[in-house]
Structures are given as C-alpha cells and as structure tokens.
Chain A
Amino acid sequence: MSAGAPLVRLTGVGKSFTTGVTALKDLYLDVRTGEFLSLLGPSGCGKSTALRIIAGLTAPTQGQIDWGQTERPGVGFVFQDPTLMPWADVWRNVYLPLRLRGVARAAAQKPIAEALGMVGLTGFEKAYPRELSGGMKMRVSIARALVSRPGLLLMDEPFAALDEITRLKLNNDLLRLKSELKTTVIFVTHSVYESAFMSTRIAVFSGRPGRVAETIDISEPAARDEEFRLSAAYGDYCRRASAALHGGSNGRSRHEP
C-alpha cells in the first residue's frame, strides 16, 4: 500500500449506449489514495458516467479499470438527489447499507449514531424525509454513504440542487469529514468554484464524448476555511480551471508555469 500507488486506474475507458450516444471516449485517469478529486465539466460530458463506471453501476464498453488493491474497496455513493426511502425515517435510511450487509440493529446503533453525529443530525433519527429541508436530506444521504466507512466516497453533483448558503455550509462540512475519515473522494461537479475550493486535484473534462482535457493539482493544505475562498491562490486556481474548461485549443496557451 505505497502512498503513490493509484487506488484505481482507468485506461482508455469508453462508454457508448445502445442509443448510439458515446458518453466517454479514451478516458485515462488515475485516482490516488486519499485524494479529493473533482471531475469538472459541462453537463453531458460523461463525468457522471465515469463515476458510475468506477462505482460498478455500469460497465465500460471499451478500456479497463484496475484496482490497486485486489478489488474495489467499500464504496459510498451520494446522488444529486438525496435518494432517500420516503417510507423510512432517518435512522432506518442510514441503517440501509448495514442492513443489506446483514448487520443487526443492535450492532448498527453505534455506527449510525456516529454517522448522524458527523453530519450534524443527532436528534433527527425519528424524522421522515418529507419533514426535512433539502440540505438536511442531503446530510442524511451523506450519513448513509459514510455509515459503512467506505474507502472510496463517490459524489455525483450532490449539492447542485441546493441553495448557495446551504451549499457553502455543506462544502465546509464535507471537507471536515474528509479530513477526519481520510477517505478518498471523487466529486463530480459543474462548478469551477466548488471544485477549486474542495479538491486536492481537478480533472477537467472536455465536452462530449468526454475525456480528461487537463488535470490541475491544488497544492494547498487540505484543511481550508472561508479565508481560502478570499485568497489570491484560490482565484488563480479558479481561473486555471475555468480556462481549461472553456479552453479547447485556445485554453492551451495559458502562461502558467
């Protein structure tokens, strides 16, 4: 388990659907253990498809995926919608991954309490999804993804549907959780600002068919606060990501070292 070894390597991965649409083509991507990797790109560029391929929810039509370990680690997935079971209260929603794995209720009490504590929802165990705000539902969704202590957390534009204030708050909370749990995160977003604030590395996707146009390392300490949002470095990273995003051929002529 050397520090530099990729957790997962995608080699020439492509995905075409039976409808004839090619979502991904020639995707080369290494995911490093412990990093916070953002997949940044316009909608329809195949970044969500890449995430679903990594999760094993769909198989690539070309290329291959190699896991650094022998197989895929435990994976947590957060969708754009909270995707909660409306008939189950918060506790039972978070219990789901453990229940499917055959963990008894009694044994699940502690991890569930911890997961709810991490997302700040202690005391809401008996609430039903419909009684919660959008941000709180997303917190439940994150708690459910974290309760099984996954080695890899996959997030598909989780905060895209939330209001600005809630999103900034959840950005900060997610960074804190990431540093506490030391899990690897792959975070799909179409927001330059969100990716620059959260990530240790950004993979910028080109338009359809999607592939990685450029990767940007964010060499800042992982613990970031509101100060970072105001810093000049943050502005630079945003500009670089933005240029790569809109670049195509022009974006190549950046004067960056």
Chain B
Amino acid sequence: MAAQTGDHAMNRDRLLNWAPPAIVFAAMLGLWEFVVRYRAIPPYILPAPSLIATTLVKDWDTLSASMLVTLSITFEALSAAVFGGVVLALAFAQWRWVERSFFPFAVVMQVTPIVAIAPLLLVYLDPGTAVLVCAFVVAFFPILSNTALGLASTDHNLVDLFDLYRASRFQQLIFLRLPAALPYFLGGLRIAGGLALIGAIVAEIAAGSAGQGSGLAYRIVEAGFRLNIPRMFAALTLISITGILIFAFFSGISWLLLARWHDSARERG
C-alpha cells in the first residue's frame, strides 16, 4: 500500500519533470504553424512544421541515406580522433618533451577555424578524405587535452602508494592513470562527438560546390540551389537529430561506465 503511493508519487514527479518541456516544445511548433498559415507565408520563405514533416517522409529515402553517410563520416573521424588523441596524451604523460613539442601544434589546429582550413584541404586531398580530415581535426583536440589532463591529475597519494609497492610504469598506467583519466576522457568524447559532426558538415558544405559527397550538408546545399526550402529544413532537422543522438549515445556510455563511482553521475535525491 505504502509502496503503491510511493510509486504514484514517483510517476507524478516524472510527469512533472517531462510535461513542461514537452508542452513548451509543442506550443512553439504550434505557434510556428499558426503564424505561417495565418500570415500565408509561402513555403519557399518559411515552411510550416507540418510541411517539413511531410517533406521528411516524402524524401526519406534520399535523406536517410545521406544521414547514414554523415553518421559514418562522423564516427570514422571520431574513432581516428580517439585513437590519435589517446595515444598522444599517453605520450605526453610519459615524456614531458613530447608534450612541450607537440602541444602547440594541437593548439594551432584547434584555434584555426575549420571553415578556413577546409578549402585548403580540398585542394590537397580528394573531397571524401578532406571531409574526414576536417571532422578529425576538430574532434581531436578535446580528446587529447581532456585525456592529458586526466592522466596528469591522478591522486598523488595513490601514485606514492603504487611507488611504495614498486609498481612498474605499465602497472601504474593500467591500474591507476587510465581509470583516473576515464571521466575526463568521456567528457572530451562527448564534446568531440558533437564537434566531429560539425566538422563533417562544414567540410561537406565547402566540398559541396565541388560536386562531391552525398551527406546531409550536401543535401542542404543542393536544396538551396533548387530553392527547395522545405527540404533544407528537413535536412537541417535530421542534422539536429543526429547531433542529439550522438550526444545521447555518449552520455549513455558515460553513465554506464561512471554511475557506480564517479560524482558526475551521482543521482541527487
């Protein structure tokens, strides 16, 4: 009986958590729909949400194929960034001169806007590779800097303890530094996931004029040329959804790995 009231209270709390954002979101869409219809705004200026939705359904075959292309570029670039970033961060942690010599390059790569680099890369590389490299370049830095920070900020008393038990450097790395760096790495991964998508989109748009690629960004460029504004919005919606899915995916991984022990995943009662 008591448990049942508890369940009801919990359901009510959950409802109160979810209801306001859902209602606000629906209201915004409703307002948009209303304004477009009431003011009779033509679809080539601003399509109504209902039209975007129907376009999404109608063009699903083309758009979903493009979404898969964008997703696979994002994840390929991200995998490369994870591998490169973690390996370099490990080298930073082992040898200080590596950090001092290579970190400036990483910073330069990070602070130079990718939009400015993309055209250059398109000159040197074939468009497919250039898109991949762009996405890699933006995703690389957060992984590198976060992992390096995590490896460096291991509890010094624990390091002493490992020294006391005469742990080898390899043991210290496996049993101490890597687990200690995990929360930092996962934080970097979440940022890098979103950035890799942005990098892929930017490069695709830059490459789009070269007539290559079939990712979501290319669909936007193409629809723009044809003044097919509803389709631009539909592709844009899919890009947002892709970004949200990537973020949710890495947040989920982060939660799974950290929930038991790390404060960032603690549930506040």
Enumerate 16 A-B pairs (CB-CB under 8 Å) in ascending A order. Answer: A55-B164, A57-B160, A81-B157, A83-B158, A85-B175, A85-B179, A96-B161, A97-B165, A99-B175, A100-B165, A100-B167, A100-B171, A101-B165, A128-B260, A130-B261, A130-B263
| CB of A20 within 8 Å of the partner chain | no
A105 to B158, CA, bound (A): 21
- The residues of B with any CB-CB pair to A shorter than 8 Å are 155, 157-158, 160-167, 171, 175-176, 179-180, 182, 260-263, 266
CB pair A77 B175 closer than 8 Å:
no
> Shortest Cβ distance from B253 into chain A, in angstroms?
15
Dominant secondary structure of chain A at its interface with chain B: loop
| CB of A75 within 8 Å of the partner chain | yes
Identify which of B160, B182, B261 contacts A129 (C-beta below 8 A). B261
A72 to B217, CA, bound (A): 66
| Complex interface bits, A130-165 against B, C-beta within 8 A gives 1, otherwise 0 | 100000000000000000100000000000000000
A57 to B165, CA, bound (A): 10
> Shortest Cβ distance from B17 into chain A, in angstroms?
25
> Shortest Cβ distance from A98 into chain B, in angstroms?
9
A251 to B167, CA, bound (A): 45
CB interface residues, A 41-84, toward B, < 8 Å: 52, 55-57, 75, 77, 79, 81, 83
Chain B residues positioned under 8 Å from A52 (CB to CB): 160
CB pair A77 B164 closer than 8 Å:
yes
CB interface residues, A 13-32, toward B, < 8 Å: none
Chain A residues positioned under 8 Å from B171 (CB to CB): 100
A52 to B157, CA, bound (A): 11
A241 to B163, CA, bound (A): 34
CB pair A85 B176 closer than 8 Å:
yes
Which partner residue on chain A sits nearest B182 by CB separation? A87
Chain B residues positioned under 8 Å from A128 (CB to CB): 260-261
CB pair A100 B175 closer than 8 Å:
yes
Which partner residue on chain A sits nearest B260 by CB separation? A128
Residue among B157, B171, B176, B262 with the highest chain A CB neighbour number at 10 A: B157
> Shortest Cβ distance from A179 into chain B, in angstroms?
25
Chain B residues positioned under 8 Å from A56 (CB to CB): 164
4 more A-B residue pairs beyond the given contacts A83-B157, A83-B158, A96-B161, with a C-beta to C-beta distance below 8 A: A75-B164, A83-B155, A101-B165, A128-B261
Which partner residue on chain A sits nearest B165 by CB separation? A100
CB interface residues, A 86-139, toward B, < 8 Å: 86-88, 96-97, 99-101, 128-130
- The residues of A with any CB-CB pair to B shorter than 8 Å are 52, 55-57, 75, 77, 79, 81, 83, 85-88, 96-97, 99-101, 128-130, 148
CB pair A85 B158 closer than 8 Å:
yes
Which partner residue on chain B sits nearest A77 by CB separation? B164
CB pair B262 A86 closer than 8 Å:
yes
> Shortest Cβ distance from B170 into chain A, in angstroms?
11
A56 to B163, CA, bound (A): 9
Q: Which 6 A-B pairs have the closest CB atoms?
A: A83-B157, A100-B165, A87-B179, A100-B167, A87-B261, A79-B157
> Shortest Cβ distance from A59 into chain B, in angstroms?
12
A88 to B179, CA, bound (A): 9
Residue among A81, A87, A96, A99 with the highest chain B CB neighbour number at 10 A: A87
A83 to B261, CA, bound (A): 14
If A97-B165, A100-B167 touch, does A86 touch B175 (CB 8 Å cutoff)? no
Chain A residues positioned under 8 Å from B260 (CB to CB): 128
> Shortest Cβ distance from A88 into chain B, in angstroms?
8
Chain B residues positioned under 8 Å from A75 (CB to CB): 164
> Shortest Cβ distance from A131 into chain B, in angstroms?
9
Residue among A57, A81, A96, A128 with the highest chain B CB neighbour number at 10 A: A96
> Shortest Cβ distance from B7 into chain A, in angstroms?
25
Chain A residues positioned under 8 Å from B167 (CB to CB): 100
CB pair B165 A96 closer than 8 Å:
yes
If A86-B261, A100-B171 touch, does A57 touch B182 (CB 8 Å cutoff)? no
CB pair A77 B161 closer than 8 Å:
yes
Chain A residues positioned under 8 Å from B158 (CB to CB): 83, 85
Chain A residues positioned under 8 Å from B166 (CB to CB): 100
Chain A residues positioned under 8 Å from B263 (CB to CB): 130
> Shortest Cβ distance from A129 into chain B, in angstroms?
7
